Structure 1
Amino acid sequence: MRVLLVNDTPKPIAELAQVLRGVGYEVLTHADCAAGLLKAVQDIKPDAVILDVDSPSRDTLEQLSMLNRHAPRPVVMFAADGDDALIRDAIGAGVVAYVVDGLSPARVAPILRVAMARFEQQAHVRQRVDELEQKLVDRKDIDRAKGLLMDRRGMSEADAYAALRQQAMKQGLKLADVARRILSMADLLG
């Protein structure tokens, strides 16, 4: 596993890098601060990111939020500041583990394993939510297309649905795709 270390404190993290290497992680060149974190992650493609900060700045949280949206990775943050609002902000920006006053090299590997497992679980939940949202959009489009057929062709709901299904089978498309085509043509024709 490849880990990117990011340090914006005056503390050296060579000991942490050595511990990670000792338990089998590949440690990537660490950035001196969180600026440009998204680009660094996109360029070197680490499996996880560890940040060592005194207190996460707004810039750091913004970088983490962008990272979470565009190149999600498990992020572990070691910080000296245990302020509840900062912790909530960090978690909201995509941090899966926020550890206060605890950059103990012996604890890093288990914390990282937990963070990876938590990240995978969250990714699965996000994927499931995305699938359900798409099904809802599909269902709405199908219902709108049925309504359009019922209004313009005087069909019953069952007949409109059967017509959509028949067209989908004929064209080798999903029912929702046929519905979207009908809705788009209706918009075009007014």
Structure 2
Amino acid sequence: MRSLLVIHDQATRSESERKSAQPCDNPLPESVLRSCGYSVAIAYNEIQAKSLIRDSDATVLHLPVSDIRSWGTSLLSWKLVPLLWWCSDSTATLSVDACEDNVMIDGILTPLMGAQEVHWALHFGAKQCFERQQWQNERTQLLSRIEERKWIDMAKGILCEIKHISESEAYDLLRKQAMNERKRLVDVATSIVNVYRLLQEQKQKGAK
């Protein structure tokens, strides 16, 4: 991991421009990271960030905690990279009201870190990022299976009601139809439920 993208917002951009003109005891992230041997690109808006993130191994967010969620959502939609927060005097002060916020962050960097500390923060941040993504993928798959099971159970209930058969017989019927039509079981079940609902709606309209 050698290429980093530093994100500034409007508040920290003003700070960046002010500090770049004079020596400062609280250095900017790009200064610290470059001194540690990293290649650093800087973005001040989403257009710049979207272009630069393609060549970046991680993103360092120099902005208040309250802005991390919106930035993180955009960045991760473009590329899966670790998101690290630059905790300086200014960003910490701007984040006081957001200390209870639930934010997507994989690690923290500070102006006082040395090269080894930055290295290990980035190393564990990368592990956290990919573990979080793996957990998200597993959660998505689980929710998908739950949703599929819901449609299959509804279709079984409809078949049991209409054909006066048991649940196991209804499941066998669904599976046989899926094989014959070369479709997924859930797709057949969804079609049955939707057709049944349509017929029920038409019946209700006819009754009126």
Same fold (TM over 0.5): yes
Tell me, yes or no, if the aligned pair for 1:64 and 1:93 is still in contact at 8 Å: no
* Residue matched to 1:75: 83
2:135 paired with 1:125: yes
Going from structure 1 to structure 2, the CA distance change for 1:47 and 1:88 (only over 3 Å counts) comes to: farther
Does structure 1 residue 47 correspond to structure 2 residue 57? yes
Q: Cα 1:174–1:76, aligned 2, differ >3 Å: closer, same or farther? A: same
Q: CA deviation at 1:57?
A: 5.5
Whether 1:186 aligns to 2:193 is no
Larger-gyration structure (1/2): 2
8 A contact 1:76–1:95 mirrored in 2? yes
Q: CA deviation at 1:31?
A: 1.7
RMSD of aligned C-alpha atoms?
2.7
Matched letter for residue 77 of structure 2: H
Query: Matched residue of 1:95: which SS?
Result: coil
Cα 1:103–1:87 shift into 2, 3 Å? farther
> Does residue 95 in structure 1 map to residue 99 in structure 2?
no
Tell me how far apart the structure 1 counterparts of residues 135 and 181 of structure 2 sit (CA, whole Å).
33
Note closer, same or farther for the CA distance 1:57–1:116 as it changes in structure 2 (3 Å cut): closer
Aligned length: 176
The 5 A counterparts of 1:119-158 are: 119-158=129-168
Q: Does the C-alpha gap of structure 1 residues 166 and 138 become closer, same or farther in structure 2, counting only changes over 3 Å?
A: same
Contact 2:174-2:185 within 8 A present in 1 as well:
yes
For 2:187 and 2:37, the matched residues in 1 are separated by 49
Specify every segment of 5 or more residues in structure 2 that has no aligned partner in the other structure, as ranges: 17-26, 201-208
Partner of 1:94, secondary structure, is coil
Whether the aligned pair in 1 keeps the contact of 2:106 and 2:128 (CA below 8 Å) is yes
Percent sequence identity is: 21
Q: Secondary structure at the match of 2:7?
A: strand
Give 5+ residue unaligned stretches, structure 1: 22-26
Mapping of residues 19-38 of structure 1, within 5 Å: 19-21=36-38, 27-32=39-44, 35-36=45-46
Query: Cα deviation per residue 1:44-92 (whole Å; 9 max; x = unaligned)?
Result: 3233201234xx153x234334336634531011212287864543xx2
TM-score (norm 2): 0.71
Secondary structure at the counterpart of residue 173 of structure 1: coil
Using the TM superposition, give the Cα deviation of residue 157 of structure 1 relative to its aligned residue in structure 2, in angstroms: 1.0
Deviations 1:16-68 (A, max 9, x none): 124243xxxxx352124xx42xx444333233201234xx153x234334336
